[in-house]
Amino acid sequence: MKVIRLHPGKDRSLLRRHPWVFASSIAKGGADSGETVRVESADGQFLAWAAFSPASQIRLRVWSFEQTERIDAAFFAARLRVALERRRALGLDLTACRLVHGESDGLPGCIVDRYADIVVLQAGSAGIERWKAVIADALQDLLPGTRLYERSDAALREREGLPAATGWLRGGGDTLVEIAENGLRLQVDVATGHKTGFYLDQRDARARFADLVRTQRLQRVLNCFSYTGGFSLAALAGGAEQVTSIDSSAPALALAAQHVARNGFDAARTTFVDADVNATLRRLRDTGAQFDAIVLDPPKFAATPQQVERAARAYKDINRLALHLLPPGGWLFTFSCSGGVSAELFQKIVAGAALDAGADAQIVARTGAGLDHPLSLHFPEGEYLKGLLLRRS
């Protein structure tokens, strides 16, 4: 077993059970991509078993802090079983669910989402890449009758020095499946959809939005960055009269339009705009349009810490423009999924946007990802998604 020795004092975050070690903390030692190593403090004390990522700034990701643990096929099967049990115990519908949420489930770099009978694996670290076949077998054992598709094409693969990898790992056939969410029927294409196919993390926010539309009897809804129409369908289910969806992805909008028909809603209640959100919000402002509720669920504007400042300006811009389109009493459900933008910073950005728009608003609720995206106490980076439900005064 290869040993990695840390610089003096660099054992602190591991002692607090944070699962990452940066390259700059390492004094000596090396290993192959994804190889399991023994991590020691400067004075030779055992700290953890970890996977080595030679190309990444996050050089080590911890598998276990227990010295007696063996990192083998049984270890991965056990971690996967625990992740599934955790969700079963919470009463979640496991057929449209994130089954494994990386670090927060003790499997750094491992994302597993399930859509109907397709399980999608994203191997985002050298360690998971190395154990991929073992993980695939364990998932097939734990979830009999499912097919397994790989979507390891996220940008983070590059930072790990790994090429993109997509396609069937077990089974095959059509990559388009139907899931049920909050009583609605949605189609997910695991080969061509964003991320692993769908934004499961907004399930609870979409349910909340349907409730809001219903209880407040909101009629005119604008859904910005609609993707395949999750929030649009929620608004229709809540009884909205007119729902406008904006997205720059034509295939996503095509699926959104299909979802309207599939769920039995009248297409006359919907408008789809294939365009840039920022430009469209400006145009709507110039024409004096008004909405009772607006959803702003943009993609990750800051992918790295260096991009946070520019991202802050982009978030401020769209929030300011959206506030212009709301009459007093109107609702704004606004989100950031940038890990580098904290909840506190996001609130400041939105407050700045309100000042610039000359509009005051109250925070009625704060939201985050659902229970299938657990948060580890020791890994605050896992809290990437934050939402603010605001009411304009």
Piece of the chain touching ligand SAH by CB under 6 A; list 32-40, 71-79, 237-245, 293-301: 293-301
The angle formed by the CA atoms of residues 21, 383 and 135, to the nearest 5 degrees, is: 65
299 binds ligand SAH (CB under 6 A): yes
297 binds ligand SAH (CB under 6 A): yes
Residue 339, classed as helix, strand or coil, is coil
User: CB of 358: closest distance to ligand SAH in angstroms?
Assistant: 25
User: CB of 138: closest distance to ligand SAH in angstroms?
Assistant: 29
Of the residues 247, 293, 338, 391, which one makes contact with ligand SAH according to CB under 6 A? 247
225 binds ligand SAH (CB under 6 A): yes
Piece of the chain touching ligand SAH by CB under 6 A; list 73-81, 88-96, 167-175, 245-253: 245-253
Active site residue 110: no
By the 10 Å C-beta count (0-12 exposed, 13-18 middle, 19+ buried), 216 is classed as: middle
User: CB of 231: closest distance to ligand SAH in angstroms?
Assistant: 5
Chain positions 22 to 61 lying near ligand SAH, rule: CB under 6 A, are none
Which candidate, 313, 172, 300, places its Cα nearest to that of 225?
A: 300
Inter-CA distances, 175 with 80, 96, 147, 245, Å: 24, 15, 10, 25
Per-residue burial over 292-317, b if 16 or more Cβ lie within 10 Å, else e, is bbbbbbbebbbbeeebbeebbebbbb
Piece of the chain touching ligand SAH by CB under 6 A; list 73-81, 213-221, 297-305, 309-317: 297-305
Bridge partners for 151 per DSSP: 166
Which candidate, 65, 47, 53, places its Cα nearest to that of 7?
A: 47
User: CB of 380: closest distance to ligand SAH in angstroms?
Assistant: 23
In the numeric block, which tokens belong to residue 112?
């597993």
Inter-CA distances, 379 with 62, 304, 308, Å: 12, 17, 20
- Kindly write out the interface string for residues 137-176 of this chain, putting x where it contacts ligand SAH by CB under 6 A and - elsewhere: ----------------------------------------
277 binds ligand SAH (CB under 6 A): yes
Q: Which is nearer to ligand SAH, 128 or 237 (CB)?
A: 237
In the numeric block, which tokens belong to residue 139?
């998932």
Query: How many CB atoms within 10 Å of residue 248?
Result: 15
User: CB of 123: closest distance to ligand SAH in angstroms?
Assistant: 22
The answer to whether 120 touches 136, Cβ cutoff 8 Å, is no
User: Closest CB to ligand SAH belongs to which residue?
Assistant: 230
Of the residues 122, 202, 319, 338, which one makes contact with ligand SAH according to CB under 6 A? 202
Chain positions 73 to 92 lying near ligand SAH, rule: CB under 6 A, are none
Inter-CA distances, 297 with 201, 205, 301, 322, Å: 12, 11, 11, 12
H or E segment at 316?
A: helix 308-324
Of the residues 52, 63, 199, 301, which one makes contact with ligand SAH according to CB under 6 A? 199
Q: Which is nearer to ligand SAH, 19 or 298 (CB)?
A: 298
Residues that bind ligand SAH (CB under 6 A): 194, 199, 202, 225-228, 230-231, 246-249, 252, 276-277, 297-299
Which residues are part of the catalytic machinery? 337
